[in-house]
């Protein structure tokens, strides 16, 4: 049985704790590894290594840092297939889907390769007689990322390339459900020439998280996960003087107007709802059918849901793999049953699916629920599984009001042929990321990712320009260089620009 260790100061580390947790293959239900569970001692060891590395790395040249990022980016390209298979084996998603998340994460590395232009400061000449002012940004120190199971490569890649390229050192606490991707990335960083101690990985559960949130040597924490934990992370870390990025849960709506191309809309909503078995914070979990679009849309969505090919993530032709754990499978299937009991119409029932040769896998099929109301649990809860709920609205304005009344505000989409409707929607809806005929509007790396309301705790989105600001702090220098023996009068009044 393989044991997955920490990665501290440039090499695998067994850690101080004897506790381990099984890592399963979701397609077979079989245990395939054990991951060590670290705690405060292991976090302290990693922070000490990162602190020592920061002294040198923070003073390295921008050229040196970007050269490492260029080399790291190339290694991600060369090892994309291998890393994709590692993700698929522990998460359950298809290899193509895993490769897709690597590509989207790699875009942040590419953004980090171009930080030379982004980090340029400004200069003001002669703000007063013989006085100039300029500013520049400096790294914070040791920063940490706490990341979820659903994107074991991409979400950490939203964090550490920018943190490292701006001169910080990094401690990653990945999900213990699929931990191997983090160690593989650590090995790629080492091959890329990153000095030991700049990137570290500590595996574990709540003990490791709490140790990071309270450690005096950690300057900032980035988190992606559920809203209750995001609130806990934000409250605890800020109470200990840290900067915090805390991205929470979601309930993403896709609105379909009667003028939309229903085949096009249904194709994209199906992929957005059932891709990665719905285990995405940007998954389409609610389709809002407006007016006359409703019955026709349900008919097309029903057909497409039944056509989704479910199977092991490494099998050719598979479009949707299993859920990550047995508990997740049971929770999602119970939610479908609960929706039916509350009055929803189960148009497509994915419960009880068995895949030949993988009968013990954590599979459930796509489920489609119609006549869902905002009072039902299937609407209010983030199910994080392949369940699409259809809510009917009489008008676009009613659909907007419905979305705005929801406590989450991560992503939303509108399918329409009307530019006027699209403009009205994107201006009035209280959501941070909006797609127009795009079901999963994850922005490119040079924009920032972050929702509104309960989908973002605090006010710090992730990657892009906001990521640069989060991992650095500005210095402003006011300087005077008088000529030798030049007399410069000093004043006791507050200085002015005279």
pLDDT in tens, the chain (498 residues): 899 999 999 999 999 878 999 999 999 999 999 999 999 999 999 999 999 999 999 999 999 999 999 999 999 999 999 999 999 999 999 999 999 999 999 999 999 999 999 999 999 999 999 999 999 999 999 999 999 999 999 999 999 999 999 999 999 999 999 999 999 999 999 999 999 999 999 999 999 999 999 999 999 999 999 999 999 999 999 999 999 999 999 999 999 999 999 999 999 999 999 999 999 999 999 999 999 999 999 999 999 999 999 999 999 999 999 999 999 999 999 999 999 999 999 999 999 999 999 999 999 999 999 999 999 999 999 999 999 999 999 999 999 999 999 999 999 999 999 999 999 999 999 999 999 999 999 999 999 999 999 999 999 999 999 999 999 999 999 999 988 877 777 778 777 665
Task: Compute the distance between CA of residue 33 and CA of residue 22 in angstroms, rounded to an integer.
Answer: 6
Task: Compute the distance between CA of residue 481 and CA of residue 241 in angstroms, rounded to an integer.
Answer: 37
Residues with Cβ within 8 Å of 44's Cβ and at least 6 positions away in sequence, in order, are 211, 215
Residues with Cβ within 8 Å of 485's Cβ and at least 6 positions away in sequence, in order, are none
Helix (H, G, I), strand (E, B) or coil at 440: coil
Residue 412 and residue 429 in contact, taking contact as beta carbons nearer than 8 Å: yes
Q: Catalytic residue at 113?
A: no
Residue 302 and residue 16 in contact, taking contact as beta carbons nearer than 8 Å: no
Task: Compute the distance between CA of residue 412 and CA of residue 285 in angstroms, rounded to an integer.
Answer: 10
What token pair was written down for 68? Answer: 């490492």
Task: Compute the distance between CA of residue 72 and CA of residue 124 in angstroms, rounded to an integer.
Answer: 36
Residues with Cβ within 8 Å of 129's Cβ and at least 6 positions away in sequence, in order, are 498
State residue 489's pLDDT score: 76
Residue 159 and residue 145 in contact, taking contact as beta carbons nearer than 8 Å: yes
State residue 498's pLDDT score: 58
Region of residue 464 (phi > 0: left; psi between -120 and 50: alpha; otherwise: beta): left
State residue 484's pLDDT score: 81
Nearest CA to 358 out of 424, 319, 314 is that of: 314
Task: Compute the distance between CA of residue 12 and CA of residue 9 in angstroms, rounded to an integer.
Answer: 8
Task: Compute the distance between CA of residue 58 and CA of residue 97 in angstroms, rounded to an integer.
Answer: 35
Point out the catalytic residue in the list 281, 368, 387, 421. Answer: 281
Radius of gyration from C-alpha coordinates of the chain: 25
Burial class (CB in 10 A: 0-12, 13-18, 19+), 156: buried
What is the bridge-based pairing of β-strands 20-25 and 30-36?
Answer: antiparallel
What token pair was written down for 281? Answer: 């914070």
Q: For the whole model, what pTM was predicted?
A: 0.96
Q: How far is CA 308 from the centre of its chain?
A: 25
Residues with Cβ within 8 Å of 241's Cβ and at least 6 positions away in sequence, in order, are none
Residue 369 and residue 339 in contact, taking contact as beta carbons nearer than 8 Å: yes
State residue 496's pLDDT score: 67
State the CB neighbour count (10 A cutoff) for residue 214.
15
């Amino acid at each position: 049985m393989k044991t997955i260790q920490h990665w501290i100061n440039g090499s695998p580390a067994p850690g101080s704790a004897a506790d381990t947790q099984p890592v399963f293959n979701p397609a077979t239900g079989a245990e395939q590894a054990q991951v060590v569970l670290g705690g405060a001692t292991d976090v302290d060891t990693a922070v000490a290594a990162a602190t020592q590395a920061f002294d040198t790395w923070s003073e390295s040249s921008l050229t040196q840092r970007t050269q490492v990022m260029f080399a790291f980016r190339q290694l991600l390209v060369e090892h994309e297939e291998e890393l994709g298979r590692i993700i698929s084996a522990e998460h359950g998603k298809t290899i193509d889907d895993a490769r897709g998340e690597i590509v989207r994460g790699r875009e942040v590395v590419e953004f980090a390769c171009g930080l030379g232009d982004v980090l340029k400061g400004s200069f003001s000449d002669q703000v007063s007689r013989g006085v100039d002012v300029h500013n520049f940004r400096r790294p914070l120190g040791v920063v940490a990322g706490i990341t979820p199971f659903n994107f074991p490569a991409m979400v950490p890649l939203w964090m550490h390339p920018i943190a490292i390229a701006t001169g910080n050192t990094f401690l990653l606490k990945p999900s213990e459900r699929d931990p191997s991707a983090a160690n593989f990335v650590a090995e790629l960083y080492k091959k890329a020439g990153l000095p030991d101690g700049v990137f570290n990985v500590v595996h574990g559960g709540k003990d490791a998280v709490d140790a990071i949130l309270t450690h005096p040597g950690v300057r900032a924490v980035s988190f992606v996960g559920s809203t209750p934990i995001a609130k806990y992370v934000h409250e605890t870390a800020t109470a200990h003087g840290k900067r915090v990025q805390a991205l929470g849960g979601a309930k993403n709506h896709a609105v379909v107007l009667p003028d939309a191309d229903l085949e096009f809309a249904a194709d994209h909503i199906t992929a957005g709802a059932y891709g990665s078995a719905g285990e995405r914070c940007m998954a389409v979990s609610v389709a809002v059918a407006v007016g006359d679009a409703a019955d026709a849309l349900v008919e097309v969505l029903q057909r497409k849901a039944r056509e989704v090919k479910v199977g092991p993530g490494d099998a050719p032709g598979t479009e949707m793999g299993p859920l990550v754990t047995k508990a997740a499978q049971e929770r999602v299937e119970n939610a479908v049953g609960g929706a039916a009991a509350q009055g929803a119409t189960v148009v497509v029932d994915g419960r009880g699916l068995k895949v030949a040769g993988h009968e013990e896998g954590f599979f459930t099929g796509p489920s489609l629920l119609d006549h869902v109301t905002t009072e039902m649990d299937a609407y209010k809860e983030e199910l994080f599984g392949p369940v699409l709920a259809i809510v009917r609205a009489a008008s676009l304005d009613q659909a907007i009001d419905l979305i705005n009344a929801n406590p989450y505000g991560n992503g939303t989409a509108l399918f329409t042929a009307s530019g006027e409707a699209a403009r009205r929607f994107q201006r009035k809806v209280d959501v941070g990321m909006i797609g127009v005929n795009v079901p999963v509007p994850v922005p490119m790396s040079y924009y920032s990712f972050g929702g509104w309301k309960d989908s973002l705790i605090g006010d710090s989105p992730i990657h892009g320009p906001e990521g640069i600001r989060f991992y650095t702090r500005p210095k402003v220098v006011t300087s005077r260089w008088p000529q030798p023996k030049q007399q410069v009068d000093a004043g006791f009044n507050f200085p002015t620009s005279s």
